[in-house]
Structure 1
Amino acid sequence: MSETTKYEAEVVVIGAGLAGMVTALELLDAGKRVVMLDAATRERYGGLALLSFGGMFFVDSPEQRKNGIKDSVDLAMSDWVRYGDLDPDDVWPFRWAEAYVNRCTEEVRGWLAERDVSIFRAVGWTERGYFVPGNSVPRFHIVWGTGEGIVLPLIERLDAHEKSGKLELHFDHRVDGITQEGGQVVGCHGASNAGSFEAKGDAVVIAAGGIAGDHDKVREVWPRDQWGEPPEHMLNGSILEADGKLLDRAQELGANITHLEKMWNYAAGVRHWEPLFPNHGLSLVPAKSPVWVNYQGRRFVDPPLVGAYDTLMLVDRICQEKKKYSWQVMNRKIANKEFAVSGAEFNPAVRDKKMLTFLLRLLQGNGEQVQEFIDHCPDFVTASTVGELADKMNALTGTQDVDAVLLERDIADYDANIARGPKLQNDDQLRRIAHVRQYLGDRLRTCNMARIVDPDAMPLIAIRMQILTRKSLGGIQVDLDAKVLNQQGDPIPNLFAVGEACGFGGGGMHGKRALEGTFLGGCVYSGRVAARAINSGHGVR
């Protein structure tokens, strides 16, 4: 039997994603010695943040002011509480929401800017709200370089600490439990490719993500009272290491785990044709001009489904169906203008910081990428007529669910509404399209009342979209120092949680909806909070 490898430092950080990286860097910069452990390989340093598009939520930022967008903490907090249906009596989530909204621009944007992270000048307007008002003004700030533009500058600084000997960084290390001695948290233990290990420190920080990467865990906490049974098939837009095991280990120590039934899933998932793991999915940014139909090819009309307004509402509506997947039906002209994929992989111009390529793509469309998905993604079908398209949709699913006659009728009704002209159009999707086109950032990427069946815009395209799991909105309850709280509301000495592991703060600071861009920001903010508490000795015995 091989001997147990032992590591020792002042602080043990479990997880080398964004929240863990920020925590470690703040501790190291203050002179602490840190051991950081991660279950993945070194090539995946940065976790889900590395793969992300890099959107971040800030309030009254320099970018907003330069664009003439008037924002304030009061307005943002009002939007946050209303959109998330956040209860002020749910004390720690509410306090974390207040703290983040008040401090995100200075403590997240300012901190990142000091570390060579650049923010694109244009500000996006996501989650405007459908029935429940969302972002009153644009707040979605795009990091120039996508998630890589955040992670890589931090890795460079952490590398310097690793070379100096202050940081011990170990990948392929799966933590199986939190170690206690004399009733006190003193470290963690687990296994690596080389055998078992133990890591000890004065404080332990859980930064190991949520549950979205483990569909068994997602199904276990699925809100059946709201969405019925989970979809038979779901796609994974997270990472396999986000399996909730560290949440279970914390709960065994008495930690209070809250709001796991609240999750941030996406409605427009498609299969990756070169999957890194089972059910690996990509999240499309739902185009606004297609007709969005259910598994039978019937248009959603109460209300029509339109992207950019309310992610939770899209998931909620699709999950009310007998079969919980949907289709977007469009033509090639619409696709070229509006097709987009979330994440770093399929946004190379932003990721690689190629401004001219980015501007050309914005002005000329995304036809090359549309063709790539038509050629490779198994969830795309094309046809020259609606009847042929319906046949291919049925062939893809192995059913006869789509009725070609009814699909053709729904499309014809939509196209006829467009043909009446703006004074006589009466369709909520068209009103939404007119609304988003008032904002320049959306007008450049949204067609102006485009018909679906248009001889000059063929072929027709149907995209089968499944529910894709991405992030957990609940997690380990923590106080405003990121100290883990037990079920009586008391801190567990020496134990902290950050990022998605703590529901991005307080065990669920978003409530049931997020205004978007708050996840990466929540990782940075909570990591700084935990490090500040540890550096000052709060919660550490």
Structure 2
Amino acid sequence: MNTAHHHCETLVIGAGLAGISTALELLDSGRKVLLVDAAPRSHCGGQANDAFGGMLLCGTPEQRRNKVQDSPELLLEDWLRVAAFEPDDLWGRRWAEIYAERNKADVYDWLRQRGISFFPAVQWVERGNFGDGNSLPRYHVAWGCGRGIAQTLARQMFEHDRLSCLFEHRVLGLERRNGAVVGCHGRSSTGDFLIEAEHVVVCSGGINGDLGKVRQHWDPLYGPFPENILNGTDPRADGALHEQVQAVGGQVVKLGRMWNYAAGIAHPEPQYPQHGLSLIPSRSALWLEPSGRRIGPQPLVGGFDTHDQCKRIGHLPGQYGWQLLNWRIAIKEMAISGTDSNPHFRDRRMLRLLWQLATGNRELVRWMIDKCPDVLAADSLPQLAEKMAMLAGDDRLDTNLLAATVKRHDAGIRRGPALYNDEQLRRLQQLRQWRGDRLRTCRIRPILDSGGGPLIAIRTRLISRKSMGGMLTDLHSRVLNEQNRPVAGLYAAGEAAGFGGGGISGIRSLEGTFLSNCILNGRRAAQAIVGYASHR
């Protein structure tokens, strides 16, 4: 079988959001680009196509309209506290500083100029359990969700006549000559191929679609590797090129740092083994241990500290928990992360979205009850407990303990707001003070409320999502070798690079930093290449 040979100025490996952003910046600067991806063209956009589309941004018009006075200095202060960078996280920290300073101009403004807009209500996520997260609301949801972002940029990229594409071409390794990376080789359905390039940008994603690699790099901080873990990432995101970057001298660091979620449920129509959905968990639900005891003494409440939630679920017996709620709470608060789980955001239907926020998402909750194996409903607590025990199949549930847990919780609510002495109730009161959260947070009422509708229990497990470590890059997205010098000709962007510097988020993300850093990393790689070319 013959080997097909290709020559280009700049080779971009991976057609996800980082690859698209890199290519678009290069094309707009007059460079010729060859874009290579193992998936078909219809999958262009990668994981961004399935993302909810939230971005952490500061100093935006949306913040100002919501009377939020933010600044790069405050964002960086929050970031450094949450990231807890170690001494060897030099480049991750430098990328964080650049992000705090440049996210408005280089991400938000750039997207707005390209026709992408944001939902007017800014969300307040990752506040931290003790006020040690986002000091202010910063989470901006793009109209059209992640798919809207990726496809809008992809359409603009495909309009360029300087772009060439090789889809369904899997890169197997990098080519090196005289100490510089000069291309790649791989295989397609028609045979082997070899590409020669002046510059190579690796935008191939992280490792979290490969549960074998997730196991290999699992941090015991989250307990032992959970055999019941779910996969929320396409298995093609397997980190295969990480080893190839190491083979040409590049550093890959901090792969044990991951951004997983604690509220995963089994997908009712799985597309690959252990396929899961990631819930945006209800804040008013009781989060319980497998026994039926409430997780505590600090209760788990969604939206405050995802990192802590994962640690606590990972150390429970059986490594799963239960969310207990009722119909009234579920239709107001329950959501699933992702583009297709949020059709009104995806399709930019403002009036329907506002109506749903006002009246509840009945369609989603009915679908979850009818289709999702981890979602149970019953008219009484004893009936629900019977279903929970049957689903778990491990004899851990104590029905008397479950009944006592719910009774105590509801009794605390019935005493009235002046006598609330429960941390979850205090947090719910705080959540309802912010307009963006009030839209999705119920008024506080007992779970065993005669008007609350059927009771619902959701079994939650850890779900694999994103790599926060990766290829070590400087602020020009150049991959660095063991001497912390650039590997000539080689760049990396997006999740492949830990979203910048081999780990821009440190140990914990402020949330909404992934899509935006694909754009920031990719654009800076392109700008460095253009600048390098113009000074040769």
Cα distance in 1 for partners of 2:340, 2:333 equals: 18
Cα distance in 2 for partners of 1:179, 1:335 equals: 53
Counterpart of 1:498 in structure 2 is 493
Name which of 448, 451, 474 aligns with 2:446: 451
CA 529–236 in structure 1, closer or farther in 2 if over 3 Å, else same: same
SS for the counterpart of 1:197 is strand
Counterpart of 1:30 in structure 2 is 29
Map residues 235-250 of structure 1 onto 2, 5 A cutoff.
Answer: 235-250=230-245
- 1:537 to 2:532 alignment: yes
Q: What per-residue deviation string (whole Å, max 9, x for no partner) do you get for residues 74-98 of structure 1?
A: 1110000001112466211110000
SS for the counterpart of 2:280 is coil
Name which of 308, 311, 330 aligns with 1:335: 330
Counterpart of 1:485 in structure 2 is 480
Counterpart of 1:385 in structure 2 is 380
Counterpart of 2:284 in structure 1 is 289
Asked whether the equivalents of residues 89 and 506 of structure 2 are also in contact (C-alpha less than 8 Å), the reply is: no
Cα distance in 2 for partners of 1:222, 1:185 equals: 31
Q: CA deviation at 1:275?
A: 1.7
SS for the counterpart of 1:470 is strand
Stretches of 4+ aligned residues off by more than 6 angstroms:
538-541
Q: What per-residue deviation string (whole Å, max 9, x for no partner) do you get for residues 184-235 of structure 1?
A: 21111111122211111001111001111111001101112x1231111111
Q: CA deviation at 1:253?
A: 1.7
- 1:311 to 2:299 alignment: no
Asked whether the equivalents of residues 35 and 199 of structure 1 are also in contact (C-alpha less than 8 Å), the reply is: no
Cα distance in 2 for partners of 1:409, 1:3 equals: 72
Q: TM-score under structure 1 normalisation?
A: 0.97
Identical aligned residues as a percent:
47
Q: Which moved more, 1:128-137 or 1:303-312?
A: 128-137
- 1:192 to 2:191 alignment: no
- 1:168 to 2:167 alignment: no
Cα distance in 2 for partners of 1:172, 1:308 equals: 39
Q: CA deviation at 1:539?
A: 12
Name which of 414, 434, 437 aligns with 1:439: 434
Map residues 411-450 of structure 1 onto 2, 5 A cutoff.
Answer: 411-450=406-445
CA 361–504 in structure 1, closer or farther in 2 if over 3 Å, else same: same
Q: CA deviation at 1:300?
A: 0.5
- Aligned residue identity for 1:335: A
Cα distance in 2 for partners of 1:539, 1:427 equals: 62
CA 170–414 in structure 1, closer or farther in 2 if over 3 Å, else same: same
Cα distance in 2 for partners of 1:177, 1:442 equals: 47
Map residues 142-153 of structure 1 onto 2, 5 A cutoff.
Answer: 142-153=141-152
Map residues 211-226 of structure 1 onto 2, 5 A cutoff.
Answer: 211-224=207-220, 226=221
Q: CA deviation at 1:402?
A: 1.0
Unpaired segments ≥5 residues, structure 2:
none
Q: TM-score under structure 2 normalisation?
A: 0.98
Counterpart of 2:62 in structure 1 is 63
Q: CA deviation at 1:181?
A: 2.3
Cα distance in 1 for partners of 2:483, 2:288 equals: 47
Cα distance in 2 for partners of 1:434, 1:278 equals: 40
SS for the counterpart of 1:505 is coil
Name which of 351, 354, 357 aligns with 2:349: 354
Asked whether the equivalents of residues 52 and 146 of structure 2 are also in contact (C-alpha less than 8 Å), the reply is: yes
Cα distance in 2 for partners of 1:230, 1:10 equals: 43
Cα distance in 2 for partners of 1:336, 1:540 equals: 59
Cα distance in 1 for partners of 2:28, 2:534 equals: 20
- 1:48 to 2:47 alignment: yes
Q: CA deviation at 1:273?
A: 1.3
SS for the counterpart of 2:519 is helix
Q: CA deviation at 1:457?
A: 1.3
Root-mean-square deviation (CA, aligned residues, Å) is 1.4
- Aligned residue identity for 2:184: C
Unpaired segments ≥5 residues, structure 1:
none
Cα distance in 1 for partners of 2:319, 2:130 equals: 22
Cα distance in 2 for partners of 1:373, 1:397 equals: 18
Counterpart of 2:317 in structure 1 is 322
Counterpart of 1:134 in structure 2 is 133
Asked whether the equivalents of residues 83 and 132 of structure 1 are also in contact (C-alpha less than 8 Å), the reply is: no
Q: CA deviation at 1:172?
A: 1.6
Aligned length: 536
Q: What per-residue deviation string (whole Å, max 9, x for no partner) do you get for residues 410-462 of structure 1?
A: 11110111111111121111011111110011112111112111122121110
- Aligned residue identity for 2:217: V
